[in-house]
């Protein structure tokens, strides 16, 4: 994918990020019945940050849009740093699971590491969980049992509890989601 040269601007940076993520996630789909394009997820996470949490920091929004690229595509951290710089890459690194580890270990580490993340990574983590939890409230992914959905809610709360203290709006949204349940 060719990135175009244009005068530096926050809006241009954000548009480059969206284009990059869309190209990287082009063949991926969500696991819902409609098989919606995967790119809806990272864009939705950024949307939550901007419109519901009042987050205007471009690096945080870029981190939200790119948060799954290394974990779920052929993207490397070096590639991200080359295109988007060190700060955005650090946010993505903090939000990326090591896919070489077993799933349960990755989930355990998300809980354990959440309190130690940067504020920007915590914002992305909370918005990511909000998006996923809302999706689960609408429809379980294909093959998921009610029990698995409930387990996700319990696990997500443990992760997001470790992110408290950076954005009261996100915390209030999460509290409402957890109170309502799956």
Verify whether residue 72 is a known catalytic residue.
Answer: yes
Active site residue 142: no
What ranges in the chain are assigned the alpha helix state H?
A: 10-24, 40-47, 58-66, 69-72, 77-94, 103-113, 119-138, 146-161, 168-180
Q: Residue 113 corresponds to which tokens in the numbers above? A: 């590491």
* Number of alpha carbons in the 13 Å side-chain half-sphere of residue 147: 0
Name 41's Cβ contacts closer than 8 Å, sequence gap at least 6.
30, 68, 131, 132
Active-site residue, selected from the candidate residues 52, 57, 71, 79: 71
| 23, 52, 57, 72: the active-site residue | 72
How does DSSP classify residue 5? P
Cβ distance 41 to 66 under 8 Å? Answer: no
- The catalytic residues are 71-72
């Amino acid at each position: 994918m060719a990135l175009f040269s244009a005068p530096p601007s926050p809006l241009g940076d954000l548009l480059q990020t969206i284009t990059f993520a869309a190209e990287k996630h082009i063949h991926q789909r969500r696991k819902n019945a409609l098989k919606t394009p995967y790119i809806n997820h990272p864009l939705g996470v950024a949307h939550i940050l901007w419109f519901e949490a009042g987050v205007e920091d471009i690096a945080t929004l870029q981190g939200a849009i790119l948060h799954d690229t290394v974990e779920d595509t052929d993207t490397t951290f070096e590639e991200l740093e080359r295109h988007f710089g060190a700060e955005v890459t650090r946010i993505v690194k903090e939000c990326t699971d090591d896919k070489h580890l077993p799933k349960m270990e990755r989930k355990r580490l998300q809980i354990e590491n959440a309190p130690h993340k940067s504020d920007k990574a915590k914002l992305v983590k909370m918005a990511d969980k909000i998006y996923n939890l809302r999706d689960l409230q609408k429809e379980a992914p294909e093959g998921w049992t009610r029990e698995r959905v409930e387990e996700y809610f319990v696990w997500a709360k443990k992760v997001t509890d470790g992110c408290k203290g950076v954005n009261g709006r996100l915390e209030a949204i999460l509290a409402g989601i957890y109170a309502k349940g799956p």
